[in-house]
């Protein structure tokens, strides 16, 4: 158990809908990361937050947005969903936001768009 929790574990929805994925980082971790893993693909970096502020951005679609709240939990919002958005979405956290800090991953949320 990494200490990072993600809810829900599974989510099935229809095209055009909007969903919110939630992540609670490990106690004491200030930085949160979101990754997307599509079928047979590696993890694609989406976005990173540090203490409530956006720190780095990857190839995140405009239909996707995220935020980190004062209690440090984070939410990833996906809207106007398309079939291709079906994937595993991982959240990770680290104490500080630099690359030498180990990232601890949650178990992921599996999103299925029908």
Partner 1 sequence: DQQVKQNSPSLSVQEGRISILNCDYTNSMFDYFLWYKKYPAEGPTFLISISSIKDKNEDGRFTVFLNKSAKHLSLHIVPSQPGDSAVYFCAASEGSSNTGKLIFGQGTTLQVKP
Residues at the site binding partner 1, with contacts judged by CB under 8 A = 2, 4, 31, 33, 35, 40-45, 48, 55-56, 58, 90, 92, 94, 97-108
Q: How far is the CB of 114 from partner 1 (least distance, A)?
A: 22
Rounded-to-integer distance, Cα 4 and Cα 72, Å:
12
For partner 1, the closer CB: 71 or 102: 102
Looking up tokens 């829900």, which residue turns up?
8
Nearer to partner 1, 78 or 92 (CB): 92
CB 93 within 8 A of CB 35: no
* Residue pair 14/114 in contact by the 8 Å Cβ criterion: yes
Nearer to partner 1 by Cβ, of 19 and 108: the residue is 108
CB of 73 to partner 1, least distance (A): 16
CB of 98 to partner 1, least distance (A): 6
- Residue 53 CB contacts under 8 Å (≥ 6 apart), including other chains: 68
- Measured from the CB atom, the residue of 17 and 56 that comes closer to partner 1 is 56
CA 31, 63, 59, 82 dihedral sign is positive
Q: How far is the CB of 16 from partner 1 (least distance, A)?
A: 29
Q: Which two tokens stand for residue 99?
A: 């690359």
């Amino acid at each position: 158990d990494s200490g990072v929790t993600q809810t829900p574990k599974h989510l099935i929805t229809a095209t055009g809908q909007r969903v919110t994925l939630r992540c609670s980082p490990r106690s004491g971790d200030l930085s949160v990361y979101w990754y997307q893993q599509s079928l047979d693909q590696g993890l694609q970096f989406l976005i990173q937050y540090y203490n409530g502020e956006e720190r780095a951005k990857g190839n995140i679609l405009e239909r996707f947005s995220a935020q980190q709240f004062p209690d440090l939990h984070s939410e990833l919002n996906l809207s106007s969903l398309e079939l291709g958005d079906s994937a595993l979405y991982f959240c990770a956290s680290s104490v500080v936001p630099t690359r030498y800090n180990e990232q601890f991953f949650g178990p992921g949320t599996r999103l299925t768009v029908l």
